[in-house]
Amino acid sequence: MRELDLSRHPCFNKKAKGGCGRIPLPVAPRCNIQCSFCNRKYDCVNESRPGVTSAVLTPVQAVEYLKEVQRLEGSLTVAGIAGPGDPMANAPQTLETIARVRSEFPDLLLCLSSNGLNLPEHVTELKKLGVTHATVTVNAIDPEIGKDIYAWVRDNKIAYQGKEAASLLWSRQKEAILKLREQGILVKMNSIVLPGINEQHILDIAKTAGEMDVSLLNCIQVHPSPGARLEKMTEPDKAVIDSLRKKASVHVPQMTHCRRCRADAVGLLDRDRSLELAPVMQDIASRPVILHDSEKRPYVAVATREGMLVNQHLGHAENFQIWTRSNGDYKFLESRQAPEAGGGFQRWQKIAGLLHDCRAVLISAVGDTPRTVLEESGMVVLEMEGLIEEGLDAAYKGTDVSGLRPVKTKSCSGGIAGGCG
The dihedral of CA 182, 186, 192, 198: what is its sign?
A: positive
The stretches of 150-236 forming alpha helices (DSSP H) are: 162-182, 202-211
Of 411, 413, 409, 393, whose CA–CA distance to 401 is shortest?
393
pLDDT for res 372? 82
pLDDT for res 419? 35
The dihedral of CA 294, 295, 296, 298: what is its sign?
A: positive
- Which band of pLDDT confidence, cut at 50, 70 and 90, is reported for residue 43? very low
pLDDT for res 401? 63
Average pLDDT, stretch 54-60? Answer: 83
Residue 84, preceding peptide bond in cis (omega within 30° of 0): yes
Average pLDDT over the chain reads 86
pLDDT for res 84? 87
Three-class DSSP category at 293: coil
Are 218 and 258 in contact by the 8 Å Cβ rule? The answer is: yes
CB-based contacts of 121: which residues, under 8 Å, 6+ apart?
A: none
SS3 content of the chain, % helix, strand, coil (to 5): 35, 20, 45
pLDDT for res 118? 95
More confident residue, 184 or 273: 184
Range name among 11-25, 201-215, 269-283, 301-315 with the lowest pLDDT average = 269-283
| Angle of helix 59-72 versus helix 274-285 axis, rounded to 10 | 140
Rounded distance, CA 341 to CA 362, Å?
A: 18
pLDDT digits (tens, 9 = 90+) for 123-148: 999 999 999 999 999 999 999 999 99
Same fold, 6-285 and 299-404: no
pLDDT digits (tens, 9 = 90+) for 311-365: 999 999 999 999 999 888 999 999 999 998 877 778 888 999 999 999 999 999 9
pLDDT for res 414? 32
- What is the percent of the chain with per-residue pLDDT over 90, rounded to a whole number? 52
Give me the residue spans of the domains in the chain.
6-285, 299-404
CATH T-level topology, domain 6-285: TIM Barrel (3.20.20)
Does residue 120 carry a pLDDT above 90?
yes
pLDDT for res 375? 84
Three-class DSSP category at 90: helix
Count CB-CB contacts under 10 A for residue 329: 7
Average pLDDT, stretch 67-90? Answer: 90
Rounded distance, CA 91 to CA 359, Å?
A: 19
Are 412 and 366 in contact by the 8 Å Cβ rule? The answer is: yes
- Which band of pLDDT confidence, cut at 50, 70 and 90, is reported for residue 288? low
- Which band of pLDDT confidence, cut at 50, 70 and 90, is reported for residue 418? very low
Of 194, 74, 81, 182, whose CA–CA distance to 135 is shortest?
81
pLDDT for res 41? 55
pLDDT digits (tens, 9 = 90+) for 224-249: 777 778 878 888 999 999 999 999 99
Are 50 and 262 in contact by the 8 Å Cβ rule? The answer is: yes
- What is the percent of the chain with per-residue pLDDT over 70, rounded to a whole number? 89
Q: Which CATH architecture has domain 299-404?
A: 2-Layer Sandwich (3.30)
Does residue 47 carry a pLDDT above 70?
no
- Which band of pLDDT confidence, cut at 50, 70 and 90, is reported for residue 406? low
Average pLDDT, stretch 393-419? Answer: 56
